[in-house]
Chains A and B, each alone.
Chain A
Amino acid sequence: MANSTGLTIPETLETMHNESLQSQATFPPKQTEDRPEHPPEIPLAIHDLTVAYHRKPVLWDIELNIPEGKLVGIVGPNGAGKSTLLKACLDLIPKTSGWAHIYGKPYRKARHLVAYVPQRESVDWDFPVSALDVVAMGAYRRLGWFRRVSKEEKDRALESLEQVGIAHLADRQISQLSGGQQQRVFLARALMQDAELYLMDEPFAAVDAATEEAIVDLLRRLSEKGKTCLVVHHDLATVTTYFDWLVLLNMRVVADGPAGEIFTRENLQKTYGGKLNLLETAAEALRHSID
């Protein structure tokens, strides 16, 4: 679309944004007042969020309301700001404007409600700790400063490892785990936090089939318990099977709503712009989802 018509990128983004405003899903009604309410029943409400690195905007005017108990996929091309969106919600990077509220509260007052699974490459896996040690870190907020990890928390950590199917690897040093097992350690650590909202940055990136299955299984169980999961996802072919709510992101929110309604060729074109090879992939993915 973009390069065939010769539109420059900012214009494209502008039209995208306007269209996305019109095609908003019905849930929940968009708040147009200057000072919107803080809906306490909404796991994650984002208003007017803009984030810039070195004065270059990465996220622009994000408006999102994520409904409770949904498995939400965040999809968009590289550099669309998907990881940045999660980090901004967690106060890991400063917001240029706007806010993100978790159950009606700013993040620093809602830490106990949120668990974050960062990208696997974000840490050094040669670090001298065992899998169980890493999972136990999920209990640190409950413990607070100075207090050591108790026996009960260790048992909980072991249970969390069990839930992702690698309890037998608890004492392994983390460099001796496969990529998929390392990802499961991160998920177990998030489970340990016993949160209501889970923010996951590409948990499916470069994992084996067994791990992928284990993660999907885990997401389903969390959702059944009424937990909300936001997952940055890359594989368009599996989007509609894994997620029931979607956010299509490319610096702005292109579209968000129930996966079935949002995952259309038109929306994907808007999200991925003129990247033709990606469009082919998208078309392929659509065909898959229809089959």
Chain B
Amino acid sequence: MNWTSFDTWIVVVGALCAVACALPGCFLVLRKMSMMGDAISHAVLPGLAIAFLITGSRASIPMFLGAAIAGVLTALFTQWIARFGNVDRGAAMGIVFTTLFAIGLILIRQAADHVDLDPGCVLYGAIELTPLDTVGQTGIPLAALVNGGVLVANLLIILLLFKEFRMGAFDPALADTLGFSSQFLHYLLMTMVAITTVAAFESVGSIIVIAMLIVPPATALLLTRKLSWMLIIASATAVLSALLGHVAALTVPTWFGFESTTTSGMIAFAAGVLFTLAWLFSPTEGIAVKYWRSREEITLESSDKYPAE
């Protein structure tokens, strides 16, 4: 394996993006709205396309605005359809995000086909190419700055509103009775997810976003029963996934005689492996650990029943 500064930047971009996703992802998982991340990450596409059509450029600010609006609309439409159409939340989400995603695809094919807004790139991303696009003379990739900026913003919002987010996720009715609008907190979280998603789109693609919103928080929830630790462990898992993912993308295919493979896919896969490890070996929740404990108990019980003479 030939590690260069390129590889370091790829890991840094991947890690920044993964942590930026994992932080709001913790609250999605706790609110049992994991699929909302999936829905929003697809449904921002028409927002991007329309922002592009209006401004005619891929400048970041209109893109973020378009995505944020599309993200909030996804959450709004889902709620309306669930309430007035009397269908369950999951179905409503499916209706909204597939429709919006389709509109986005049509808009891109019809109106913006001649430019570099490629649906394939949106899905898979091009994290391997991010170190090429640097800012001025600094040598820092643009993607690192964008994802880093979003990460800092997410971190600040969560630090400032930690108690509000926690109450809004645990007991929204209490939040409302105390005068903290649970609706406001909900849409703030949705906006964070939408903006995080777009930041990631430009560099790493949506596969990684969906994985990073859900898998590190779910892993952390297996390892701790404290929200602050959950955020920390989820972030650590995200960083580790980025590192292991890129290393695996470089090395694993060569064992079988192939060239290196896509880093985005491997990062998502590494997160899945870490989740499996936590699921098996978590000290409190791990099924392997539980299995060994129950075996021990059985031996203890049987030795109680038939005491040694």
Contact = CB atoms under 8 A, between A and B. Distances in A.
B173 A92 contact: yes
A134 B179 CA distance: 17
Interface in B7-44: 30, 32
A272 to B, nearest CB: 28
Contact of A128 (B162, B164, B178, B224): B224
Interface string A101-137: 0000000100100101010001110011110011001
B179 to A, nearest CB: 5
Interface string A187-198: 001000000000
A225 interface: no
Interface string B169-187: 1110110111110000000
B114 interface: no
B305 interface: no
A173 B223 CA distance: 13
A173 B226 contact: yes
Contacts of A175: 225
A122 B171 contact: yes
Contact of B30 (A128, A137, A143): A128
B161 interface: yes
Name the prevailing secondary structure of the B interface residues.
helix
A140 B171 CA distance: 13
Interface string A144-155: 011011000000
Given A140-B163, A175-B225, A116 B177 contact: yes
B303 to A, nearest CB: 28
A4 to B, nearest CB: 36
B177 A149 contact: no
B221 interface: yes
Name the prevailing secondary structure of the A interface residues.
mixed
Contacts, number: 70
A124 B163 contact: no
A168 interface: no
B173 to A, nearest CB: 6
A173 B166 CA distance: 14
Contacts of B142: none
Contacts of B229: 128
Contacts of A48: none
B189 interface: no
A122 B170 CA distance: 10
B156 to A, nearest CB: 11
A141 interface: yes
B167 A140 contact: yes
Nearest to A127: B170
Interface residues of A, number: 29
B95 interface: no
B274 interface: no
A12 B177 CA distance: 35
Nearest to B162: A148
Contacts of A141: 178-179
A40 to B, nearest CB: 21
A149 B163 CA distance: 8
Most buried by A among B161, B163, B169: B163
A90 interface: yes
Contacts of A114: 177
A162 interface: no
B178 A111 contact: yes
A111 B171 contact: no
Given A128-B225, A128-B227, A128-B230, A118 B163 contact: no
Contact of B176 (A92, A128, A145): A92
B54 interface: no
Most buried by A among B32, B162, B169, B179: B179
A91 B176 contact: yes
Contacts of A116: 173-174, 177
B308 interface: no
Contact of A123 (B160, B171, B177): B171
Contacts of B166: 129, 133
Contact of B177 (A92, A124, A145, A148): A92
27 contacts: A87-B173, A90-B176, A91-B176, A91-B177, A92-B177, A116-B177, A118-B173, A127-B30, A127-B170, A128-B221, A128-B225, A128-B226, A128-B227, A128-B229, A128-B230, A129-B226, A133-B166, A134-B170, A137-B174, A137-B178, A140-B164, A140-B167, A140-B180, A141-B178, A145-B161, A149-B163, A175-B225
Given A111-B179, A116-B177, 4 more contacts: A92-B177, A137-B163, A140-B167, A141-B179
The 9 A-B pairs of least Cβ separation, nearest first, read: A173-B225, A141-B178, A128-B227, A127-B170, A128-B225, A123-B171, A90-B177, A116-B177, A111-B179
Interface of A: 87, 90-92, 108, 111, 114, 116, 118, 122-124, 127-130, 133-134, 137, 140-141, 143, 145-146, 148-149, 173, 175, 189
